[in-house]
Each structure stands twice: as C-alpha cells, then as structure tokens.
Amino acid sequence: MKKFRFLFSCLITGVLLIALPLDVKSEELDVRSEEGIAAITMPSGDVSLSFVQPGRIAKVYVKEGDVVKANQILIRQDDAAEQAQLVLMREQSRNTTQVDAQTASLAQKRNYLEKLEWAAERGSATEMEVQDARLEVDMAEFSLKAARFEQEQNMRKYKESKIRVENMALKSPISGRVEKVAVEVGESIDRLASAVRTVKTDPLWIDVHLPVEKGETLKLDQKATVTFQGAPEVSAEGKVIFISTVADAASATLRARIEVPNKSNRPAGEHVSVQF
C-alpha cells in the first residue's frame, strides 16, 4: 500500500514538473508577443558593381566609407585604346562624302536622261540610249541608298563604341556609402568580377514574417514602431511599404517590409522588434 502511494505521489509530481515548463514557455511567448516581432534591419539599397569586360584599373576615385551620390563615377578602367576607336567612329559617322557624291551623280544622270528623252521625242536619240540612261539612273539611286545605309551603320558603330567606353567607368546607381573596394590601380580584373559595393542605409528596410491572419489585416503605409535592441534602446516610427501576396505554406506566414528613416546612420544588420 505504501509503495502504491509513493508511486502515485511521484506520478503526480512528475505531471506537475512536466506541465510547469510548458506554462513558463507560454508566458514567455506572451511576453515576446507583447514586446513585438523580432527582426533584423537591412539596407534599402545594396549593389555590387562589376565591369562587363576585362581590363586594367586606371583610377579608383573612392575609398571604403565614402559617401557617394547616384551616377557618381567610382572606378575607371584604362580606356585609351577605346577612346581612340571612339574618335575614329565619330569621324566616320559624320563623314557624308559618299552620300554627297552619290547624290550629285544621281542628279547628273537624271538630267542626262531628261535630255535624251527630249532628243528621242525629236528623233535625235534611239530608244536603246534612253533605256541605258534610265538604267544608269536606277543604278545611281541604288548607290545612293547604299551610301546612306553605310553612314547609318557608321553612326550605330559610333554609338556602340560610346557605350563600351561608358561601361568602362563604374557609376553608383544609388546614393549611399562605399562598403567595399575590391580592386587597386594597375590591377587587371576579369569581366563580372566584383569591384566595388555600395549600400544605402537611409532608410532602412525590415522584413517581418507574420501569421497569415495578422498579415491580412495590414495595409500599405500603415505605421509601425521599430525598437532597436541597443543600450539604451531606441525607437523609431516606420511604415509598411510591401505586403507579400503569397503566403509561406510551411510556416503559414506572410512577409511584410517596413521602411524606417535612419538619419542617425545606424548600421544595417541590427536586431530590432516591430509592433503594429
């Protein structure tokens, strides 16, 4: 009988011990829910730039940490040969000698044809001579078209060369800071190899994953309070700029993106909590 009571007592105690951690976890979850949704900040712009063709680095205009503006040149390849080719293509595209010569030739042959036709009407020229003159006019028209086409092709080649030269200078597509410079002057670099990275941290972006039923209640431009988990904690007001239209089936959540101003230049990658 005593053994039975002892076992029963242990059983009851065991049930309590098992239930206690579950209650504690539940309370902890409630506290976390009240504190907000944990997330990590990220840059609103993050671009790694590379050249589209191999070459030698001629100039590096920035260093890590520099503030840059959109379309500012960061790095330039040696483009001396390409600049010379560009000048040649430009002059060829502007040269209208062939077009002018073929235009004058066509005008002369048309004038000669008119005179032969006038003479043929009066019996002073044969029909064969008139047909030959007409053929000469047709050939002159074709030659003029060919000359114009050649000039148009030269203009296209000039534009292509200009684009190639422009691509030899890396420009920042965003305003922000230089995060990393991976090349030095005189170094040869392969095409598509990362040369420089720029980031934009004002504003910051924060992606949060919400239960579907909660995510469906969100609206664009809805306010959100972001608390930075630092010492001391700092809060800022952000807004919803994106709500996913596809839920994650595994976790039954929707992704929402929060945008928060960052005038104090806090680094991206900080832990924060978000409350709506």
190-213 residue pLDDT tens? 999 999 999 999 999 999 999 999
Helical ranges in the chain per DSSP H:
2-35, 80-94, 97-121, 127-166, 212-215
Split at pLDDT 50, 70, 90, the class of 29 is: very low
Structurally, at CATH architecture level, domain 35-77+168-276 sits in Beta Barrel (2.40)
- Predicted confidence at residue 230, as pLDDT, reads 78
| Per-residue model confidence (pLDDT) at position 35 | 62
CA–CA separation, 272 and 267 (whole Å): 12
- Out of 27-31, 163-167, 233-237, pick the least confident: 27-31
Query: For residue 58, is pLDDT > 90?
Result: yes
Q: How confident is the model at residue 28 (pLDDT cuts 50, 70, 90)?
A: very low
The amino acid at residue 178 is V
How far apart are the C-alpha atoms of 83 and 100, rounded to whole Å?
A: 28
Is pLDDT of 6 > 60?
no
Dihedral, 23, 29, 34, 35 alpha carbons, nearest 10: 130
List beta partners, residue 38.
273
User: What does the pLDDT average to over 21-50?
Assistant: 67
Q: What is the residue whose two structure tokens read 């506290």?
A: 31
pLDDT category of residue 20 using cuts at 50, 70 and 90: very low
Spell out the residues 6+ positions from residue 208 whose beta carbon is closer than 8 angstroms to its own. Answer: 37, 39, 255, 256, 257, 258, 274
Amino acid present at 241 = I
Which residue has tokens 């190899």? 193
| pLDDT value of residue 60 | 97
Question: What are the residue ranges spanned by the domains of the chain?
Answer: 35-77+168-276, 81-166
Question: What is the percent of the chain where pLDDT is above 90?
Answer: 80
For the residues 18-29, what does the mean pLDDT come to?
Answer: 36
Q: What angle do CA 209, 210, 212 make, to 5 degrees?
A: 125
Look up residue 177 and give its two tokens: 């800071």
Q: What are phi and psi of 125, to 5 degrees?
A: -145, 150
From residue 58, give the alpha-carbon distance in Å to each of 84, 106, 178.
16, 50, 19
Q: Could you give the CA distance from residue 198 to residue 68 in angstroms, rounded to a whole number?
A: 8
Calpha distance 189→168 (Å, rounded): 12
Least confidently predicted of 118-127, 155-164, 175-184: 118-127
User: Looking at the predicted structure, is the pLDDT value of residue 2 above 70?
Assistant: no
pLDDT digits (tens, 9 = 90+) for 240-254: 999 999 999 999 999
| Residue-wise pLDDT tens digits, 133-172 | 999 999 999 999 999 999 999 999 999 999 999 999 999 9
Instruction: Give the whole-angstrom CA distance, residue 191 versus residue 185.
Output: 16
3-state class (DSSP) for residue 169: strand
Average pLDDT, the chain: 88
